[in-house]
Structure formats: C-alpha cells, structure tokens
C-alpha cells in the first residue's frame, strides 16, 4: 500500500516552504534523478530507447517543462537554456531506466515498507530541515502531525482565513490535491533513491574487499624510503631522423599485435564554418546615434526640470529600469563609484562600460531605515567540555582587547572554516541573516567594540564590530547596448545560405572560407551520445548522412549560424588499420628508440658495473648526467624522471650500493644504484592495520558506483532521437 493511501488530508499551508524546498532539491540534486514518473507516452514520437525501453515525447517534454519552470521561479531574471535542461533530463531518464533494469535483473527490490520507514521513521534531511529549529533540534512530533493528522487542514485553513493570511477564495480541496501530487513525487523519488543506494552499497562493498597482501604491500610502499643515484637514457633525446620512417610492414605487424584491443563505437567527424551572431558596424553606429541623441538633449536642457523631463522621455523609449532601495555599499563597484556621492535628483552619464552605456538618475536617498553591520568573529566550539571552551574563549577575548591583531587571532584559533582565512570577517549583513545572539551583539554595540564570549548553538564567539551603515539609494537607469538587429541577422543568414550554395556547387569549404576570411574547424571523432558543438541536432545530422554531406545553416547557441560537412565515418568494431596509422607509427618509432637506448645503456653498464659509484661514468663519458634523489617512496614518482613505477619498484628491492643492470621505464632506460634505505617498522603494522584498512576501503568504495554505472551505460544499447525531434 502506497504512502498516499495510508495518509489523510494534509494542509498545504503547513508545508508550503517544505514543498518548495523539496522541489528545488529535486531539480538541483546531485543524484540527477529528477522527477520519477514513467508512464507510457501518449504520442507516437519516441525521444529515445534504452535497451529497447522507450522514452516518450510527452513524458520527456513534461519533465523539461517542470525543470524550466522551476528555474524561472528561482531566478526570474536569468535566461533559461532549454537545451541544457533537455540534456540533463535525457541523462536522468537514461540513469533511471538503467538502474531500474539492473535492479530487476539482480532481483533487488525496494518495498513500500522501506519507503514508509524512510518517510515517517527516518526521514532524510531534505524532509526534516523545515521542522528543525535554529539549534539543530528536529521536532519529530510536529513532523508526524503534519504528515498524518487529518484535522490540520481544516484547522489551519480556517485559522489562516480568519487571520487574513489565507485568501477567502482558496479552495482547500484543490490545494490538497496539489500537495498530494507533491507527496507522490516525494514517494517515488525516495523509492528511486533507495534503489540507487542499494547499488551504491553493493558496488562499494564489492570494490572495498582489501586483501591482506595488498594491505601489507601498501604499508611497506608508503613507509619505506630510499636514496639512489640513476642515469636516465631519455627517449626524448633520440633524434627521430636516426630512426627513419616506419615501413608498412612494420605498421601492419604492430597493428596485428594490438588490433584485438582496439575496439570502437560508431563515430563521426565534421568540419564547419561559423557566422557568429554579432552586431555589425551599422548596429554599433545605431547605438552611438542613440547615445549622442541622449547627450545632446541633456546638454540642451536649460534647467534641472528639463533634464529630468529628458530622462523620463528616454527612460520610457528605451525601457529603463528602476532599482529599489538598496545599501550603497552593496552596489556593483562601477555603479557605486558614480552614485555613492550623488545627490537626490542628480542625472549622471551617459557612462560607457564594458556592459554598455548607462545613464543614471538618483530618485531617492535615505538613512536609518535598514542597518547593515560589518563584523569579524572568532568561534570556539563547545567540544567535550563547555566550561573549558568558554574559559578559552575568554582568554582570547582578553588578548584581543589588549590590542593583539584580531585577524591573526581568528586565523590561528577560530573554528569557523568559512571565515577564519579572512581573519574572521563577514561583510555587511542585515538583521535576520545571523543567529539571534550573534546578531544582537553586532547591532547593539558600537563600531570598534570587541565583545564576548557570545553563546550560540555553534559555540562561543568573540566579536569585533567593524562598521555600521544605513545609507540606501533608489535609482533609475537607462542602458544602451550595441545589439544585434534583425537586419544584421537576416544578412548573416543570407551569407550562410550563399556559403551553402557554393558548397553544393562543388567548391571546397576551405576555398570559400578563405575568400571571406573565415576559419574552417574540424572536430575529433565523436559518438552518438556527444552533442557536438553542444547540439544534438548536429550530432544527429552527422550520423544520418554520409561522408561529404552538407548541413543546412543551423543556429547554435555560442556559435551563431553553423554550416557543417561530414568528413569522417567509423563503424562499430575494430579500429581500421588506416585510422590507426598515426598512432601505430608513434609506437613503432618509440620501440626503435627504446631498442637504441637499451644498447647504449647496456654498453655503459658493462663499463660501470664493477665501479663503486655511478659517478665513475664521467671518467669515460663526461656528457652523461648522474642524478641523485632522496627519500623516495615506491609510488612511481622520481624527481627528474617523471612517473617511473618500474624504477621505484626495482629500487625498493635492490641491494644497497650495487650498480644494477639497466631497466626499461616509461620514458627511457635506467642504470641505478641504491645508496641507503629506511625500512618501515613492521612491528607497528598490526596497530596501523585497522586504520589503513579503513582508509583503503573508503578509497576503493568511493568511485565504485560511478565506475559500475559507467560500465553499465557503456554496454547498454541507447538510441537517441532528440536531434530529429528538437532543434537546438
């Protein structure tokens, strides 16, 4: 039985903040799960399939709309990028379906009782945060009352209407229906979260089985240090000309050796030219004319009233904006620099900035209404002994009052990691932003005061009040920017169509681009899951057409109008010989270089092997450099050589003071001599073992789920039709 069927009517007004914060959590969740309805689509259009399971168009677009609406509610001024949201929603659907399919295959189930336990008995933080007071205490009874008591709805709506807090027109049944819908989403979200958690635990447990031998080796490698000398015969110092160009026979032999390990997905490659949607010279001139017109009107104004009238005229014409009262200190620096000393009624500008040209009018100034305080603090947590913490805080308070540098004391002693690096400083803040005792101490003491210890739920605070301000400004602004006009955009489209026509007529993209001074860019190979240039439509074009095909002009965000041509195609299977030639040549050349270096290293070794020190090499070849490294661990890192795990492994085991035979590393060949070694204390291994095991287990478990899921996704058959259904 679902949670909804076991709960009774609930007041939406009791939980309005709870619902809003929950939905925000759903949208922003790192788990990328989103809303969890998976009903079948009512349209024949299919956005994609995951192992044959369809993602319906209506269902997909409903989720895109929900998340777009949420972003607009959270930040009405910000632009909503639906392409980015569609990508996020696509990722959500793919993850949800794969996890559910994996759960069914593995027999992993989440029961309604589990979800009910989570919901009522052990709710997660995002459900409890609005029932938790400023001291961090969770009011469980209030939470359960809201979740289960049917009388709350009638009591609260009636009380709210009587108090004038709830409009009389509110329909309780309609509001309850909305809230129940939210609860359904919560229930399904928790179901999905629980399923993911099962897989996280399973993957983590599987990956975190640490063998005793590995643990011992890790302890030895981390604890043992050694000093050694070495000679490096660096592969980068071998002249490629001395090697010569690899023959086709050599390349083929190398290909035969590696081809079975060289598998590829279907992939494509394109080249493209862009026509950026940028203002033209004519657009710049039009903006300049607007600014000149404003400037002339202001210059010709004979009185302040004439200036205000001119400002009002252009304010209406160019859709100016009025900024409500705000602290002068909080203004952007470029605005504060011109308005901080202005008087009411002043008109300032036009002023050119990188963002545009601005004209300001100071509408009103006020002081004493809303106060801001700037303060610094040193926090001492309660720890295990509250009295000791208070005594220690009092000692620091005395030192601060005696004149010691407050910022230095904060950096040394404060346990507020968010501010200690700034010397404990918090910039100007209003009332209601800090916890009450802290706020009272700041607002009730004069600038320069050092007070404390002030107790809050976080610990004891020593507070230095730096400044108080209450100056606010209300102003209007007109912004003139150089904007892309419709005429310019039409001309760019005509230019792009002309480019496309010349391509269709057989001219090369490079020759046409050269005439109009544009660059041709070629991409790397990409697969079906990569929105090339941020566009799934362009990816779909590349996979739906043969090499040589030319796209219609496509308008893409950040790029402008793009014309693309498919230049490469790779099918699934082994990477063809021709596609690997460049890499094969590098491998053949590297092997030949290593062979030459081995011969040189062996010749030097024969002369050195009976010497006391490697430095004896200078007696017969002064050009060879001997390097000395100290306190090296067996982690592959060698100063002067880079990442050389073979060298550190051999040096860990080698006898002392012996000049050892050459070994091959990642970057060349090495002759080495270990001078001394500080062995790890194996007697301490038994006591160190529990902590080491815990550390290694955590390190192994942490990435396990993502590695498992990426492998699951890699093997899945995913068909993406977004490029055919949506235009970027």
- Residues 85/71, Cβ–Cβ less than 8 Å: yes
Average pLDDT over residues 345-349: 89
Looking at residue 274, what is its pLDDT? 97
The model's confidence at residue 514, banded by pLDDT at 50, 70 and 90, is very high
Looking at residue 504, what is its pLDDT? 94
pLDDT at 156 over 80: no
pLDDT at 31 over 80: no
Buried/exposed 622-638: b ≥16 CB within 10 Å, e otherwise: eebebbebeebebebeb
Length of the chain as a residue count:
728
- Residues 130/146, Cβ–Cβ less than 8 Å: no
Cα 347 from Cα 547, distance rounded (Å): 61
pLDDT at 425 over 50: yes
The first and second tokens of residue 424, run together, are: 């404990």
pLDDT at 43 over 60: no
Q: Are strands 668-678 and 225-234 parallel, antiparallel or unpaired?
A: antiparallel
First to last CA, the chain: 43
Average pLDDT over residues 720-727: 82
* Per-residue pLDDT reduced to its tens digit, 484-511: 999 999 999 999 999 999 999 999 999 9
- For helices 704-715 and 172-207, what crossing angle results, to 10°? 100
The first and second tokens of residue 433, run together, are: 């932003």
Looking at residue 383, what is its pLDDT? 81
Average pLDDT over residues 420-432: 88
The string of DSSP codes covering 601-663 is HHHHHHHHTTSSSGGGGGGT-TTPPPEEEEEE-SSSEETTTEE-HHHHHHHHHSPBT-EEEEE
Average pLDDT over residues 251-279: 92
pLDDT at 434 over 70: yes
Looking at residue 579, what is its pLDDT? 84
Looking at residue 29, what is its pLDDT? 40
The first and second tokens of residue 96, run together, are: 């949800």
Going through 481-591 in order, the beta strands assigned E by DSSP cover 521-522, 554-556, 560-570, 573-574
Cα 111 from Cα 103, distance rounded (Å): 12
Q: Residue 540: left if φ>0, alpha if ψ -120 to 50, beta else—which one? A: alpha
Average pLDDT over residues 243-262: 90
The model's confidence at residue 446, banded by pLDDT at 50, 70 and 90, is very high
What does DSSP assign to residue 149? -
pLDDT at 13 over 50: no
* Best mean pLDDT range from 372-381, 423-432, 663-672: 663-672
724 or 626, higher pLDDT: 626
Looking at residue 290, what is its pLDDT? 92
Residues 6+ apart with CB under 8 A from 637: 643, 644, 648
Average pLDDT over residues 189-203: 85
Looking at residue 153, what is its pLDDT? 62
Looking at residue 73, what is its pLDDT? 83
Cα 83 from Cα 71, distance rounded (Å): 13
User: What residue has token string 């076991």?
Assistant: 6
Looking at residue 54, what is its pLDDT? 93
Residues 6+ apart with CB under 8 A from 114: 194
Cα 592 from Cα 596, distance rounded (Å): 6
> Exposed/middle/buried for 5, CB within 10 Å: 0-12, 13-18, 19+?
exposed
Reduce the DSSP state of residue 375 to 3 states and report it.
Answer: strand
pLDDT at 538 over 80: yes
pLDDT at 25 over 60: no
With a pLDDT cut of 90, the percent of the chain lying above it is 53
Looking at residue 603, what is its pLDDT? 96
Q: Which of 216-225, 332-341, 599-608 has the lowest mean pLDDT?
A: 332-341
Q: Which of 71-75, 208-212, 365-369 has the lowest mean pLDDT?
A: 71-75
561 or 126, higher pLDDT: 561
Residues 6+ apart with CB under 8 A from 286: 485
Name all domains of the chain by residue range, CATH numbers in brackets: 4-31+58-198 (no CATH), 225-260+581-678 (3.10.50), 264-278+484-574 (3.10.50.40), 279-483 (3.10.50.40)
What is the rounded average pLDDT for all residues in the chain? 86
pLDDT at 227 over 90: yes
The first and second tokens of residue 497, run together, are: 């169509």
The model's confidence at residue 188, banded by pLDDT at 50, 70 and 90, is confident
75 or 288, higher pLDDT: 288
Cα 545 from Cα 566, distance rounded (Å): 8
Reduced to 3 DSSP states, what percent helix, strand and coil does the chain have, rounded to the nearest 5? 50, 20, 30
Query: For residue 246, which of 590, 597, 664 has the smallest C-alpha distance?
Result: 590
Query: For residue 131, which of 122, 116, 141 has the smallest C-alpha distance?
Result: 141
- For helices 406-413 and 386-401, what crossing angle results, to 10°? 160
Looking at residue 6, what is its pLDDT? 35
Average pLDDT over residues 206-220: 90
Average pLDDT over residues 217-245: 92
pLDDT at 337 over 90: no
Cα 530 from Cα 572, distance rounded (Å): 16
pLDDT at 63 over 70: yes
The first and second tokens of residue 174, run together, are: 């309609």
* Best mean pLDDT range from 12-26, 76-90, 645-659: 645-659
The model's confidence at residue 165, banded by pLDDT at 50, 70 and 90, is low
The model's confidence at residue 701, banded by pLDDT at 50, 70 and 90, is confident
- Residues 398/333, Cβ–Cβ less than 8 Å: no
Average pLDDT over residues 152-164: 69
Cα 407 from Cα 347, distance rounded (Å): 41
pLDDT at 93 over 80: yes
Average pLDDT over residues 523-544: 91
Reduce the DSSP state of residue 373 to 3 states and report it.
Answer: strand
* Per-residue pLDDT reduced to its tens digit, 129-147: 777 765 667 888 877 877 7
Average pLDDT over residues 427-442: 88
């Amino acid at each position: 039985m679902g949670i909804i069927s076991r709960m009774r009517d609930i007041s939406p007004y009791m939980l309005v903040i709870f619902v809003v914060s929950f939905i925000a959590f759903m949208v922003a969740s790192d788990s990328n799960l989103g809303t969890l309805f998976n009903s079948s689509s009512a349209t024949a259009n299919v956005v994609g399939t995951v192992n044959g399971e369809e993602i319906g168009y209506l269902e997909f677009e409903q989720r895109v709309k929900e998340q777009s609406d949420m972003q607009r509610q959270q930040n009405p001024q910000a632009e909503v990028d639906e392409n980015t949201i569609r990508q996020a929603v696509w990722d959500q659907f793919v993850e949800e379906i794969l996890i559910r399919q994996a759960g069914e295959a593995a027999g992993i189930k989440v029961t309604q009782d589990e979800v009910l336990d989570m919901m009522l008995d052990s709710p997660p933080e995002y459900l409890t945060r609005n029932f938790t007071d400023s001291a961090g205490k969770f009011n469980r009874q209030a939470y359960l009352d809201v979740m289960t008591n049917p009388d709350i709805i009638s009591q609260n709506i009636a009380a709210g209407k009587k108090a004038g807090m709830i409009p009389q027109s509110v329909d309780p049944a309609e509001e309850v229906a909305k809230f129940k819908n939210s609860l359904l989403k919560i229930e399904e979200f928790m179901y999905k979260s629980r399923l993911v958690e099962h897989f996280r635990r399973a993957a983590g447990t599987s990956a975190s089985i640490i063998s005793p031998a590995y643990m011992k080796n890790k302890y030895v490698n981390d604890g043992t240090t050694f000093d050694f000398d070495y000679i490096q015969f660096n592969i980068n110092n071998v002249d490629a000309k001395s090697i010569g160009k690899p023959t086709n026979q050599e390349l083929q032999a190398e290909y035969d050796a590696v081809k079975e390990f060289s598998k590829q997905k279907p992939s494509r490659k394109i080249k493209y030219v862009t026509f950026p949607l940028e203002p033209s010279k004519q657009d710049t001139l039009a903006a300049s004319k607007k600014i000149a017109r404003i400037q002339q009107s202001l210059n010709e104004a004979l009185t302040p009233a004439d200036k205000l009238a001119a400002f009002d005229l252009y304010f209406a014409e160019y859709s100016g904006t009025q900024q409500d009262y705000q602290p002068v200190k909080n203004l952007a620096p470029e605005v504060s620099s011109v308005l901080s000393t202005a008087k009411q009624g002043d008109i300032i500008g036009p002023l050119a900035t990188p963002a545009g040209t601005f004209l300001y009018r100071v509408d009103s100034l006020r002081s004493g209404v809303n106060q801001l305080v700037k303060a610094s603090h040193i926090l001492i947590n309660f720890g295990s002994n509250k009295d000791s913490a208070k005594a220690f805080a009092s000692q620091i308070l005395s030192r601060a009052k005696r004149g010691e540098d407050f910022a230095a004391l904060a950096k040394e002693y404060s346990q507020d990691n968010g501010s200690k690096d700034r010397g404990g400083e918090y910039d100007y803040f209003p009332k209601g932003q800090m916890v009450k005792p802290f706020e009272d101490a700041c607002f009730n003491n004069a600038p320069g005061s050092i007070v404390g210890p002030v107790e809050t739920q976080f610990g004891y605070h020593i507070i230095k009040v730096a400044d108080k301000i209450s100056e606010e400004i209300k102003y209007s602004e007109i912004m003139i920017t150089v904007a892309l006009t419709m005429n310019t955009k039409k001309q760019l489209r005509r230019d792009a169509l002309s480019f496309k026509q010349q391509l269709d007529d057989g001219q090369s993209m490079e020759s046409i681009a050269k005439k109009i001074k544009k660059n041709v860019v070629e991409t790397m190979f990409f697969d079906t899951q990569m929105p090339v240039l941020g566009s799934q439509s362009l990816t779909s074009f590349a996979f739906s057409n043969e090499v040589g095909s030319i796209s219609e002009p496509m308008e893409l965000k950040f790029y402008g109008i793009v014309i693309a041509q498919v230049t490469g195609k790779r099918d699934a299977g082994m990477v063809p010989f021709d596609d690997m030639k460049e890499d094969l040549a590098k491998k053949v050349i590297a092997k030949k270089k290593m062979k030459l270096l081995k011969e040189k290293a062996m010749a030097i070794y024969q002369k050195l092997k009976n010497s006391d020190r490697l430095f004896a090499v200078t007696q017969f070849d002064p050009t060879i450099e001997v390097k000395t490294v100290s306190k090296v661990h067996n982690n592959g890192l060698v100063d002067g050589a880079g990442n050389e795990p073979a060298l550190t492994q051999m040096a860990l085991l080698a006898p002392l003071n012996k000049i050892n035979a050459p070994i091959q590393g990642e970057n060349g060949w090495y002759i080495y001599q270990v001078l001394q070694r500080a062995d790890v204390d194996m007697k301490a291994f038994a006591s160190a073992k529990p902590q080491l095991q815990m550390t290694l287990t955590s390190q192994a478990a942490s990435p396990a789920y993502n590695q498992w899921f990426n492998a699951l996704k890699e093997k899945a058959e995913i068909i993406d039709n977004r490029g055919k259904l949506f235009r970027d």
